[in-house]
Amino acid sequence: MTLSVRIIPCLDVTDGRVVKGVNFTDLVDAGDPVEMAALYNTEGADELTFLDISASVAGRETTLDVVRRTAEQVFIPLTVGGGIRSVEDVDRLLRAGADKVSINTSALARPQLIAEIADRFGSQVLVLSVDARRARTESGFEVTTHGGRQSAGVDALAWVEQACALGVGEILLNSMDADGTRAGYDIGMITAVRAVSKVPLIASGGAGSLEDFSAALDAGADALLAASVFHFGVHRIGDVKSYLGKHNYPVRGVAVR
């Protein structure tokens, strides 16, 4: 009776298509998020995350349709982030078939949004996405916006503590220094955030080698999110799980068919 560590692939979606290159040779259409979600499910993903990077209202409507179609055929938890600014936005996504939503910039602009969403739907639907980097703040980590290009002027640990008090159910910690480098998760940052939070912690940014995944778990992560290593086929989800299982981390086997 041990809770398994979760392996979560993340798909960036815009106007109904997955962006960032993908090289699954066994996909008919590598850019279809529903098809990719189904494939990751078959490969043993424990959850799925869609990040909506659409710039337009029409693009966001398309994302709702993607969520609907995914929820119709993939029966594992689905988190959707990107562009969520209100309780109504959350309601629309949940009704379309999302299980959780992740918020980032809108919560920084108005922290009370966290409490509003948690009060209406419960903390369990709410993931706080924190884009953080090393900086000369009190804790040594600061929150960034605009994909890590700008400082939000907020200390990362202070923000996590505030958000937990307001009612987030989970934290998605993205290292903007490590993101895309495949040089490993920022272990110091994971350790620091773990120490100030009692909700599940998802580590993101920097996954490269199989050892990187276990190092993040040792630092206190409960779940591991990765994008490019899965999309580009550097590792299959099954490879990560086999490696972790072999090293005595609790993992869920690929589901029965």
Partner 1 sequence: MIAILDYGSGNLRSAERAFATAGKEVVVTADRTVAVEAEGLVVPGVGAFAACMNGLNGVDGAAIVRERLAKERPTLGICIGMQIMFSHGTEHSDTAPHAGVGVWDGTVSQLAAPILPHMGWNTVEVDSDSILFKGIEAESFYFVHSYAAKSAVGKMQAWSTHGERFLAAVEDGYMSATQFHPEKSGAAGLALIKNWVGSL
Instruction: List interacting residues with partner 1 (CB under 8 A).
Output: 1-6, 41, 46, 68, 71-73, 75-77, 91, 94-99, 120-124, 169-170, 198-200, 222-223, 252-253, 255-257
Query: Whole-number minimum distance, CB 18 to partner 1, in Å?
Result: 21
Query: Whole-number minimum distance, CB 257 to partner 1, in Å?
Result: 6
Query: Whole-number minimum distance, CB 152 to partner 1, in Å?
Result: 26
Q: How far apart are CA 213 and CA 190, in angstroms?
A: 12
Contacts 24+ apart (CB under 8 A), 232-238: 232/21, 232/22, 232/23, 233/23, 233/24, 234/182, 234/208, 235/210, 236/43, 237/7, 237/9, 237/40, 237/43, 237/44, 237/45, 238/43, 238/44
Active site residue 131: yes
**Choice between 108 and 225, CB closer to partner 1:** 225
CA-CA distances (angstroms) from residue 241 to 189, 210, 257?
23, 9, 18
**Choice between 176 and 221, CB closer to partner 1:** 221
CA-CA distances (angstroms) from residue 152 to 8, 52, 105, 212?
27, 21, 9, 28
The distance from CA 142 to its chain's CA centroid, rounded to whole angstroms, is 19
Query: Whole-number minimum distance, CB 46 to partner 1, in Å?
Result: 6
**Choice between 126 and 154, CB closer to partner 1:** 126
Selecting among 46, 89, 131, 186, the annotated active-site residue is 131
Token digits for 8? 């979560």
Query: Whole-number minimum distance, CB 125 to partner 1, in Å?
Result: 8
**Choice between 6 and 60, CB closer to partner 1:** 6
**Choice between 152 and 240, CB closer to partner 1:** 240
Active site residue 12: yes
Active site residues: 12, 131
